Amino acid sequence: MTCHLSAESVFKTYQREGAPDVEALRGVDLCVEAGEFVAVTGPSGCGKSTLLTVLSGLDLPTSGKVIIAGQDITTSSEKELAQLRNTEIGFVFQSFHLVASMTALENVAFPAELAGSKEALAKAKQLLDEVGLSDRRDSFPHQLSGGEKQRIALCRALVNDAKMIFADEPTGNLDSANGEHVLDLLVSLQKEKGSSLILVSHSPEVVAKADRVITMRDGRVVDRNDPIAAKGQKHV
């Protein structure tokens, strides 16, 4: 088995002045294969979102290693991390994080332009077509519904052909119909592009679509519900 992403004995401790330290992650080990969809679930405060920020390089662990595409991001420079984010990683957040002064097309194309792609606009137009938003290219975020904003965020995450997608409660701000539509699009695009997906969610409907489910509690992985393992493939 080849891990596209691996975490080895990852700890994350937050120090608080005048208060006890918070151990958000306590020795997490994880392997995610290329093209795999892994859902991370568990009660509020169990460390799910912290795990996502550490795995994606948005924050560093207190100890342990995180390796993406063979690169140890815990020892990488900020320049190396920026390059990795531009070429290997896509993010989808609950609150969309679109740039208010940019149109839908510009928001999607922006990461590709940062990466120096000469086909940024063409890629952005194609992705917007794929998610049914070709008629909203010139709209600004304040002119879009929540479901439309999240579809644009999906396109932005994939415009650089990211091989690793991180999604933190991507349907959390949407009604059930829009949430299901956005999730189906995300999974469809992830499979089409052959990307790996790590998605944090409380939703049983979201979790049910994953190849593998990891349950966390108190900063630890306490259960690995792995339907693939039943077919004779073992995940660590």
The answer as to whether 135 is a domain residue is yes
**Residue 18: which pLDDT band, with cuts at 50, 70 and 90?**
confident
* pLDDT above 50 for 235: no
CATH number at 203 reads: 3.40.50.300
The answer as to whether 77 is a domain residue is yes
Domain hosting residue 143, numbered range: 3-231
Q: What percent of the chain has pLDDT over 90?
A: 64
* pLDDT above 70 for 10: yes
**Residue 93: which pLDDT band, with cuts at 50, 70 and 90?**
confident
pLDDT digits (tens, 9 = 90+) for 170-192: 988 888 888 888 899 999 989 98
**Residue 225: which pLDDT band, with cuts at 50, 70 and 90?**
low
What whole-number distance in Å separates Cα of residue 25 and Cα of residue 192?
32
Residue of 236, 229, 231, 180 whose CA lies nearest to 209: 180
Whose tokens are 């592009």? That residue is: 193
**Residue 84: which pLDDT band, with cuts at 50, 70 and 90?**
confident
SS3 42: coil
Return the pLDDT at 229.
41
Return the pLDDT at 1.
61
The answer as to whether 236 is a domain residue is no
Residue of 147, 47, 53, 154 whose CA lies nearest to 107: 154
**Residue 87: which pLDDT band, with cuts at 50, 70 and 90?**
confident
**Taking CA 34 as the corner, what is the angle to CA 32 and CA 40, rounded to the nearest 5 degrees?**
35
Q: What percent of the chain has pLDDT over 70?
A: 94
Look at the chain and report how many structural domains it folds into.
1
Global model pTM greater than 0.85: yes
**Residue 231: which pLDDT band, with cuts at 50, 70 and 90?**
very low
Question: Under a CB-based contact definition with an 8 Å cutoff, are residues 95 and 76 in contact?
Answer: no
The answer as to whether 128 is a domain residue is yes
Return the pLDDT at 228.
39
The answer as to whether 226 is a domain residue is yes
How many CA within 13 A on the CB side of residue 131? Answer: 36
The answer as to whether 123 is a domain residue is yes
Tell me the C-alpha to C-alpha distance, in Å, between residue 174 and each of 55, 68, 83, 137, 177.
25, 30, 32, 21, 8
